[in-house]
């Protein structure tokens, strides 16, 4: 899935704080099953199987830096482990558990903030994000 812009979404919340007004882009929401390739004994060709593990890429949020109490600077505190909720214009929602891993001011534009959210799976169920 590509990175989403404000025209693609109707809601963005992190740790139950609404952030749509500050969101320029968010994404990509991407996961992949890890595969293992091996050559079975006596076979001349490789076989690929799923390992059962899923890797999840970090999600990047970008938007204006704002120091208000419920703005991005106060919400995206490094180490915060919380639920991210994104509602698409289609009505579908993307929900997942993420940790604020990295924050930086955008080079050449100190009024813009980039935040890297790393999948946390803190609830232990093995599902990092879902779309419904």
Round to whole Å and give the CA distance between 70 and 114. Answer: 17
Tokens of 125: 């169920």
Distances (CA, A) of 111 to 22, 47, 66, 105, 120: 11, 51, 8, 7, 28
Range of the domain at 14: 4-30+57-131
pLDDT digit string (tens) for 10-68? 999 999 999 999 999 998 877 666 777 888 888 888 888 776 666 677 889 999 888 78
pTM over 0.95: no
In a domain, 103, yes or no: yes
Encode pLDDT of 92-131 as tens digits.
888 888 999 998 887 777 688 899 998 886 555 555 666 7
Residue 12 lies in a domain: yes
Number of domains in the chain: 1
- The angle at the Cα of 130, spanning 99 to 4, to the nearest 5 degrees, equals 75
């Amino acid at each position: 899935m590509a990175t989403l812009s404000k025209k693609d979404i109707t809601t963005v919340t992190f740790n139950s704080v609404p952030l749509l007004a500050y969101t320029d882009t968010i994404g990509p929401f991407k996961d992949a099953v890890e595969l293992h390739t091996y050559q079975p004994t006596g076979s001349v060709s490789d076989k690929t199987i799923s390992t059962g593990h899923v890797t999840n890429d970090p999600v990047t949020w970008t938007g204006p830096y704002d120091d208000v109490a419920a703005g991005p600077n106060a919400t995206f505190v490094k180490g915060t482990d919380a639920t991210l909720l994104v509602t698409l214009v289609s009505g579908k929602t993307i929900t997942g558990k993420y940790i604020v891993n990295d924050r930086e001011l955008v080079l050449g534009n100190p009024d813009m903030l980039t935040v890297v959210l790393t999948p946390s799976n803190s609830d232990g169920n093995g599902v990092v994000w879902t779309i419904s």
